[in-house]
Amino acid sequence: MSDEANKPSVLIVGAGLGGVLLGALLEKANISYTIFERASSVKPLGSAMSIGSALIPVFRQLGCYDEFVAIGKRSIVGETWKESTFGYSLDFLPREEFSGEVQYIVPRPLLYNILVKLIPPHKIQFGKRVLMTKQTEDNQRVTIQTSDNAVYEGDILVGADGAYSAVRQRLYDTLHKEGKLPKSDQEELPFSCTCLVGQTQALDLEEFPQLKDPLYPFISTLGNDKPYSWVLFGTAEKKIAWMVVEHLSSETTKTAQEQRFRNSENSEWGPTAAQSMCDETREFPIAFGNGKMNLGDLYDRTPKELISKVMLEEKVFKTWYHGRTVLLGDACHKLHPAGGLGAVTSMHDAIALANLIYCLPSTSTADVSQMFSEYKTERLPPVTAAFNSSRSLAKSMEKGLAGTIAFLITKYMPVWLWRIFLKGMVKNRLRCGYLPEIEDKGTVPAAYSASYEKARALYNKRREVESAAAPVTVI
């Protein structure tokens, strides 16, 4: 990019974690952008996330690291139970040695609030449901039309609007008419489980004494004779973030697909479905409190409006971009939650895309297309690895022979093999190439990132030019 006039303007559809992080990074690069969100406001829904070296370097670069640590609870142990019977524990402490960063459990809504504060309020427009997207006749710009009949124009359109992305749907409709859409991208999103999530209010520490321990583990529980698993995370706020997963059979999945709520831009089900799942699962035991508590004790301590039920789709799409439109996060890859990698991969997409937008030499169609190609080339391999890893981990939570074998393999895994697994987990730690350099700590080097190296090289070159052009003071 030779000067300010050549910087692109970016339209970001979707104010989830990926879209908001992309906005925050473009803000630092002084690149024009606007975020459009179909909801009138973002509800503080969701459970908790485990975040460490994969994102902490970027939080340091953005200047929100201290705020992040303030909402986090150090995570070094995970336990797996079979209902009321203890199964095994896993030691995650070596991750800190390998990456040089602490792993934290953070409530998803609080992390979201930290990132949103990095964006000027006028750059996020709520209540803007996208009805139409198209390129201008000369293919030099892209436009969107929203439900209030407003039209917006930019150089790049980013679809960060989730698994049922409106941007993807419009893009795929166009490609399908032109005979350019792969067959697999024409198929519906498959899902093999549904999920109930929420977070309690602050709890009485006498009732839940485990929360007094700052290192108390997160706990995964497998149903003995039922197709359910549930995960509990104690948070720094003395709350419990919880997630209950129903694992569906193939036949049930087909029925659910035929009967599911068909809103092309929202996979969330209504309060009736959430309440029904609460009723079905409230007697399931939990390894918190006095040892005699169940999920119902958590549901009763969770504000009803903050409980949600969603489908957990699994798919990596083949088509990530076309023309001036590119997809990000769940819009182009939806991962099973077992690996806890869905939000991380979305935010890594945002980092890589921000690096490449910073390096865009011009807003020509050819340069934009080349940039999108570099983005997919970098992101597809780690996304595919995360997708496969998440599916493998999901097997250990399922019923039947495969689940039993996976459970036993994990329980009796030798320490040396577990350490190799953890080393692989910490390799992907992306950074922003045009923000202050962050030392790559730890004993395991970060994986190579072409977008980071490209942005860092351009950033350094620009600093050299600025330094050479600076006036010399003669004393």
pTM (2 decimals)? 0.92
Q: Domain tally for the chain?
A: 1
Q: Is the pLDDT of residue 106 over 70?
A: yes
Residues 210-233, mean pLDDT to the nearest whole number: 90
Say if CB 160 and CB 14 are below 8 A apart: yes
**pLDDT at residue 141, rounded to an integer:** 94
Q: Is the pLDDT of residue 257 over 60?
A: no
Least confident of 22-31, 154-163, 166-175, 461-470: 461-470
Angle between helices 400-411 and 365-395 (to 10 degrees): 90
Q: Is the pLDDT of residue 398 over 70?
A: no
Q: Is the pLDDT of residue 359 over 90?
A: yes
Which pair of structure tokens corresponds to residue 116?
């949103």
**pLDDT at residue 258, rounded to an integer:** 47
Say if CB 193 and CB 245 are below 8 A apart: yes
Q: What is the mean pLDDT of the chain?
A: 88
**pLDDT at residue 43, rounded to an integer:** 73
Is 352 inside a domain boundary? yes
CA distance 318 to 172: 11
CA distance 129 to 139: 23
pLDDT grade for 184, boundaries at 50, 70 and 90: very high
Q: Going by C-beta distance under 8 Å and a sequence separation of 6 or more, which residues neighbour residue 165? A: 13, 14, 159, 265, 327, 330, 331
Least confident of 61-65, 167-171, 349-353, 462-466: 462-466
Residues 231-252, mean pLDDT to the nearest whole number: 85
Residues 408-419, mean pLDDT to the nearest whole number: 91
CB atoms within 10 A of CB 421: 13
Using left for φ > 0, alpha for ψ between -120 and 50, and beta otherwise, residue 55 falls in alpha
Q: Give 320-355 pLDDT, tens digit per residue.
A: 999 999 999 999 998 877 656 778 999 999 999 999
**pLDDT at residue 62, rounded to an integer:** 97
Q: At 66, which CATH number?
A: 3.50.50.60
| Residue ranges making up the domain that contains 20 | 4-188+314-466
Residues 348-366, mean pLDDT to the nearest whole number: 97
Q: Is the pLDDT of residue 266 over 70?
A: no
CA distance 137 to 405: 57
Is 260 inside a domain boundary? no
307: three-class secondary structure by DSSP: coil
Least confident of 2-16, 120-134, 233-247, 280-294: 2-16
Closest by CA position to 339, among listed 109, 54, 117: 54
**pLDDT at residue 466, rounded to an integer:** 84
> Per-residue b/e over 358-376, b at no fewer than 16 CB within 10 Å?
bbbeebebebbeebbebbb
The Cα-based distances of 409 to 65, 248, 416 in angstroms read: 37, 23, 14
Residues 401-409, mean pLDDT to the nearest whole number: 79
Is 154 inside a domain boundary? yes
pLDDT grade for 262, boundaries at 50, 70 and 90: very low
Least confident of 31-35, 245-249, 333-337, 338-342: 338-342
Q: Is the pLDDT of residue 267 over 70?
A: no
Is 362 inside a domain boundary? yes
Is 169 inside a domain boundary? yes
| Top-confidence residue, 266 or 295 | 295
**pLDDT at residue 271, rounded to an integer:** 59
Is 300 inside a domain boundary? no
Q: Give 277-326 pLDDT, tens digit per residue.
A: 999 999 999 988 777 899 999 999 999 888 988 877 889 999 999 999 99
CA distance 109 to 241: 11
12: exposed, middle or buried (Cβ count in 10 Å: 0-12, 13-18, 19+): buried
**pLDDT at residue 409, rounded to an integer:** 85
The proportion of the chain whose per-residue pLDDT surpasses 90, expressed as a percent, equals 66
**pLDDT at residue 261, rounded to an integer:** 45
Q: Are strands 9-13 and 156-159 parallel, antiparallel or unpaired?
A: parallel
CA distance 178 to 180: 5
